[in-house]
Amino acid sequence: MAERIPRDQSLSRIYGSGALFAAAYGNVGSSIYYALGVTAAFALGLTPVAFMIAGLIFICTAATYAEATVMYPEAGGSSSFGRHAFNELVSFIAAWAQMLNYTITVAISAYFVPHYLAVFWPVLGQSPGDIIGGAIVIVFLAWLNIRGGQESARLNIILAVADLATQVVLVGIGMFLVFNTDVLVSNIHLGVAPTWPDFALGIAVGMIAYTGIETISNMSEEAKDAARSVPQGVALVVVAVLAMYLFIPIVALSAMPVELNQAGEYVTELGTTFADDPILGIVENLGLSSGLTDILRVYVGVLAAVILVIATNAGLIGVSRLSYSMGQYRQLPEVIRQIHPTYRTPYIAIIFFAILAIVTLVPGQASFLATMYSFGAMLSFTIAHAAVIRLRQKDPDRERSWKPRANFRFRGSLIPLTAVLGGFGTFAAWLVVMALNPVTLAVGMVWVALGLAGYVIYRRHQELPLTGTVKVLLPEPLGVEEIEYKSVIVAFPADQPFSEEVMATAAKLTSDRRRGIHITALLTVPTHLPLEGAMVDEEKEAQSKIERAKLIAGLRVSGRVERVRPGQEGYFIARQARASKAAAIVIGLRSRRGVPQYGKTLETVMRERPCRVIVVSEGPGTVEGTPATEQVTA
């Protein structure tokens, strides 16, 4: 029999604190290429102060995410926290806000790509070249994701390091050549330039620079020693980002000071001429020789464009994964997470949100995109803070491997000060964005209203509770808690539909994180047809089972459609398991009115079994509770 491996020796936790930092910084760091100019347009000479205040709120938010992620090392971020602390409705609101974040990330990142590539072709730096170029980027990446294109984790880490190094070099040169405290002080005209409302809005908009923390939460399931690596990764991101967002605005405003224009208004080129490519603005105003400036412009333009393309792609990947997760928790209709019959990707979600991103891109208003991003991000962050406070009250005795040091006692519960301050800060920023931007308020409220209406209608139609958690269960196999199998065959006979419970059981039983699960989707060919005869619809249906399995278990899954004659299904599965030396076969058992329906295929597999057989019993329509599993040993 093939090798069986104890579970505690086979967990493949692959991300350390360095990898978590690189992934999160690559996400956060990309925002400097647009956040700087947008924020400076509002905060003017107080832009460094706006970033620092936003940074203090970010520190509190990072602490909240570190504590909650260590408690629940699972993807979902604020949506997951809201589910554990409150209920499914709150979780949906957080997830819907994240959906807006991802959509705007796609739009705003793609919009700024042409502006940095304008170093080669100036027409890309102005309308409609920037809008057309951004739309082309989105369409290309949507096509790539539908076909199954994936990010290279190693490439992202290299680019994140190159990005950080470039910013450090620019800061170093700028501090030496253009830094001037007198200029920085003269930039500030309290209450006038900026006005207090604009300064408040600058803080809120500036917080888009700190919204990559969800990345670490989403990667926590594969983190090495989450209790240690997650807080360390968060801390590294906080230190690096705060340092860059302190020094880069100082250098930028030293090189492009606030001045009165011909209309008698205080402006800075950072928020006007270079609002759409602020880092290039810094390069052009460092006072370097023309030759060196041209070389640096090309380098920064290419690096920024590549990083922004990756950020756009990450947004599309994020929205497709989030939509699939929301479908698992019955927050979205099944059609949203429908996968492509050939490419095994959630193409409906990718297409829908790519179109939505292009629609938000068309006006060509970077400030609108930035405020919309703040609307969604501040809402999801506020829910995360509230969830941590509620969890301290609801489950005070639960082990917390990491928690912030600043705590105070309130009504018998130990409350984290960072969550209180962070929640107040993010909620205040959310209110500021709505109060000072009527268009953002209107669009944001429409987004929330449409989401809630759709959620209520869908849950009512499915006869599901609005606040209760109902999930397509990823079950713990019964009786095999201490064992994982190196290779598993999952059999889907032609007369059985795809079962997420069967697939989830196989995923939990498999130790090999690469190609450990083989899907056998059987296509029964009637005797009056040639074995290789045309059965287009049936072939697609069988192939879709493999594709849905890959969406659940990823790289671990391989599979193919196998054609067999009637009555030969069970023998084929047994022969395949024997030939491949599989450690186990996982197969479903349907029930009707509580009575198990043993078919000829299952009976044959049980009789011919060459290895352990795991039978997953499912009731019709079951979406919660643990399906029974039975082991049969050869």
More confident residue, 591 or 292: 292
Residue 223 pLDDT greater than 80, yes or no: no
pLDDT confidence band for 156 (50 / 70 / 90): low
pLDDT confidence band for 554 (50 / 70 / 90): low
Number of domains observed in the structure of the chain: 2
Same domain, 13 and 150: yes
What's the rounded mean pLDDT across residues 430-445? 91
Q: Which regions of 1-76 does DSSP assign to beta strands (E)?
A: 4-6
Residue 57 counted as domain residue = yes
Structural element, H or E, at residue 268: none
Residue 471 counted as domain residue = no
* Interval 85-107: pLDDT, tens: 999 999 999 999 989 988 998 99
Residue 149 pLDDT greater than 60, yes or no: no
Which pTM does this prediction carry?
Answer: 0.71
Residue 189 β-bridge partners: 193
Q: How many CB atoms lie within 10 A of CB 305?
A: 23
**Structure confidence at residue 21 (pLDDT):** 72
Same domain, 105 and 197: yes
What's the rounded mean pLDDT across residues 121-141? 90
Using the 3D structure, point to which of 398, 433, 454 is the last residue of a domain: 454
Residue 514 counted as domain residue = yes
Distance, CA of 379 to CA of 121 (rounded, Å): 38
Same domain, 426 and 538: no
Residue 171 pLDDT greater than 80, yes or no: yes
Same domain, 363 and 409: yes
**Structure confidence at residue 391 (pLDDT):** 94
Distance, CA of 534 to CA of 244 (rounded, Å): 61
Residue 511 pLDDT greater than 70, yes or no: no
Using the 3D structure, point to which of 436, 454, 472 is the last residue of a domain: 454
Same domain, 112 and 239: yes
477 burial type by CB count under 10 A (0-12 exposed, 13-18 middle, 19+ buried): buried
Residue 465 counted as domain residue = no
**Structure confidence at residue 591 (pLDDT):** 67
More confident residue, 103 or 532: 103
Same domain, 436 and 499: no
Same domain, 402 and 544: no
Give residue 578's domain range. 483-632
CATH code for the domain of 143: 1.20.1740.10
Residue 442 counted as domain residue = yes
Same domain, 595 and 552: yes
Q: Are 250 and 184 in contact (CB under 8 A)?
A: yes
More confident residue, 6 or 438: 438
More confident residue, 116 or 600: 116
Which DSSP letter does residue 270 get? G
Rg of the chain over CA atoms, in angstroms? 27
Q: What are the tokens at 1?
A: 């029999």
**Structure confidence at residue 475 (pLDDT):** 43
Indicate the average pLDDT of the chain: 81
Same domain, 533 and 418: no
* Interval 351-380: pLDDT, tens: 988 999 999 988 878 888 888 988 998 999
Cα atoms in the Cβ-side hemisphere of radius 13 Å centred on 102: 26
Distance of CA 276 to the CA centre of its chain: 25
Q: Are 171 and 247 in contact (CB under 8 A)?
A: yes
HEC states along 25-36? HHHHHCCHHHHH
> Which residue type occupies 272?
T
User: What is the chain's length?
Assistant: 634
* Interval 560-612: pLDDT, tens: 888 888 888 888 888 888 888 888 888 887 766 656 666 788 888 888 878 88
Give the dihedral sign, CA 161/164/170/173: negative
Same domain, 221 and 298: yes
What's the rounded mean pLDDT across residues 446-475? 84
Terminal CA-CA length for the chain = 9
What's the rounded mean pLDDT across residues 346-351? 84
Residue 467 counted as domain residue = no
Residue 401 counted as domain residue = yes
* Interval 375-434: pLDDT, tens: 998 999 999 999 999 999 998 888 888 888 889 998 888 999 999 999 999 999 999 988
Same domain, 532 and 449: no
Same domain, 498 and 446: no
> Which residue type occupies 589?
L
> 85-89: long-range contacts (C-beta < 8 A, 24 or more apart)?
85/386, 85/387, 85/388, 85/390, 85/391, 85/394, 86/386, 86/387, 86/390, 87/467, 87/468, 87/469, 88/329, 88/331, 88/465, 88/466, 88/467, 88/468, 88/469, 88/470, 89/455, 89/466, 89/467
CATH code for the domain of 522: 3.40.50.620
Q: What are the tokens at 64?
A: 């909240």
Percent of the chain with pLDDT strictly greater than 90: 22
How far, CA to CA in Å, does 503 sit from each of 36, 342, 458, 476, 560?
46, 19, 25, 12, 15
* Interval 183-222: pLDDT, tens: 999 988 888 889 999 999 999 888 877 666 666 666 655 5
Residue 476 counted as domain residue = no
Most confident of 206-220, 243-257, 512-526, 585-599: 243-257
**Structure confidence at residue 567 (pLDDT):** 84
